[in-house]
Amino acid sequence: MTTTEILPDDAVLRAARRARVLAAMEAADVDVLVLGREANARYVSGTPRLWTAGSRAFGPGCVVVRATGAVHLLSTWDEGVPDEIPHDHLYGITFNTTNFVTVLSGIEGAAAARTVATDGLTPGFAQLLPMAFPSATLVDGEQMLARTRAVKTPEEVEAIRASVGHAERALAAAEAALVPGVTERQLTGVFMQAMATGGITTPAGQDVAWITSRTSPWQRTSRDTPVAEGDLVAFEAGVVAGGYAGELTRTHRVGADGTDGDDTRDEPSDADLSRRQHELWERLVAACRPGAPASALLDAYDGAGLPAPPVPVARGLGLGFDLPLVTHALPRTAADQPLEAGMVLVLTAWVWQEGVGARFDQEPLVITPAGPELLSTHPFRATPR
């Protein structure tokens, strides 16, 4: 589909997401929600705003009032803003924090609000928000939003599937450029060019290609090192389309002709790596059941006799970062987090061997009542075909 104008997110998607947030506010007795994270603001407002790279410090980018159901949005113009956010609910860019206090305190319901939840805070806004909400206690809104966003509506799953498709097409271009002599940075450029030619201009990450290290699980020399024959090169392909992240990772061994060597031509040690990755993948898929604790995914590594990977074993996909985050660094969190139908994850199959490198693949999937359903159709060697 060709997009030639900036439109709000689909009305069904918007209504479902907003209803969920208002219900969560009701359940937690939160009067006003002040959101700084772009993904949270997008979730409730359905408005595409300018993409910038990197983290952003908290600021009041979007305000939701439970009593009126109103969404107030930081946007100097109405392009891409849906009808349910009228002009008088828009407030413009400001560099003057006093203006934020004026805007926020003028919102209907601000003066009487008893509980105001935020998704983060800075020292400055910790002082300013009590001025805008004089009767309120400031509480945690991020946990509420994260739980709300973790389970996807069917429309969200389709949006993520579409994003994965965009990522796959750009990935194919980068894979085709994998020949000895090309650098990681150049491969990233090829991916980005293909992504934008495909109509999507916003990546999920910008570290697309990595020559896995033979000496350390998680290091690189520099992004300008040329790829050499026999290298295992991982492509982390991620785009943000319609706000939703679509991501997958694929590792290829650089053959003399630039193509991925098939199993029969692999060096013995790489064949061993592939075999172990395959076994790991089967354990991961088996653990990916609704109702199971997320820690079952950690156990899959232990069961396969593999060390913890340097990246999370699983993390949620959605508007940016979503629950669950499953990593060996947070075992209690994983044990307390059940996997649920409707969660969308990127699942990491990671194996590394000294002297060889890593096979690092990540698979986007949705958990259904029957088990995991893959969202990517891009070839992954650990998936039996």
Partner 1 sequence: MPAGLMATAPVRHIPDEADLARMHRERSERIRGVLRKQGIDALVLLGNTNVAYAAGAVWPLADSGRANFEQPVAVVVADDEVPHLFSPVRDDEQLRAELPADHLHGPVYLDFDEGVQKFAEQLAALVPSRPVVAIDEWTNAMRRETSILFAGDAPVDGGKVISRCKLTKTPDELACMRAGLEITERAIAQVQARIAPGVRQTDLTATFLRTIFDAGADANILDPIWQVMPPRMADGPWTTTGDLACPLLSTERELVEGDVLWVDTGVSYAGFHSDFGRTWIVGREPDARQRAQFDRWRAIMDAVLEVTRAGATAGDLTAAAVAAAGGVKPWMPHFYLGHGLGIDSAEMPYVGSDIGEAFDASLVLSAGMVLVLEPIVWDDGAAGYRAEEVVLITEDGWEPMTDYPYDPF
**Span 178-237, contacts to partner 1 by CB under 8 A:** 185-186, 188-190, 192-197, 199-207, 210, 218-224
Nearer to partner 1, 37 or 283 (CB): 37
Nearer to partner 1, 37 or 250 (CB): 37
Q: State which of positions 251-290 bind partner 1 (CB under 8 A).
A: none
Q: State which of positions 293-332 bind partner 1 (CB under 8 A).
A: 310-312, 315, 319-321, 325, 327, 329-332
Nearer to partner 1, 255 or 310 (CB): 310
State how far the alpha carbon of 90 is from the alpha carbons of 72, 84, 93, 317, 333, in Å: 6, 11, 10, 29, 38
Burial code (b: 16+ CB inside 10 Å, e: under 16) for 301-326 equals beebebeebbbbbbbbbbbbebbbbb
To partner 1, the closest distance from the beta carbon of 279 in angstroms equals 25
**Does 78 help bind partner 1 (rule: CB under 8 A)?**
yes
**Does 83 help bind partner 1 (rule: CB under 8 A)?**
no
Q: State which of positions 322-381 bind partner 1 (CB under 8 A).
A: 325, 327, 329-333
**Does 129 help bind partner 1 (rule: CB under 8 A)?**
no
State how far the alpha carbon of 39 is from the alpha carbons of 61, 163, 235, 296, 319, in Å: 11, 15, 25, 28, 5
Nearer to partner 1, 191 or 261 (CB): 191
Q: Which helix (H) or strand (E) is 16 found in, with range?
A: helix 11-28
Among 70, 121, 292, 341, binds partner 1 (CB under 8 A): 121
> What is Dmax (Cα atoms) for the chain?
71
55, 58, 62, 64: CA torsion to nearest 10: 130
**CA–CA gap between residue 334 and residue 328 (Å, rounded):** 8
Cα four-point dihedral sign 376, 379, 380, 384: positive
Nearer to partner 1, 91 or 380 (CB): 91
Nearer to partner 1, 207 or 263 (CB): 207
Task: Sketch the per residue contact string, 136 through 175, with partner 1: x for CB under 8 A, - otherwise.
Answer: ----xxxx--x-----------------------------
Nearer to partner 1, 204 or 306 (CB): 204
- β-partners of residue 118 are 34, 140
Q: Are 295 and 370 in contact (CB under 8 A)?
A: no
Q: Are 306 and 266 in contact (CB under 8 A)?
A: no
To partner 1, the closest distance from the beta carbon of 370 in angstroms equals 28
**Does 122 help bind partner 1 (rule: CB under 8 A)?**
yes
Phi first, then psi, for residue 375 (nearest 5°) are -100, -5
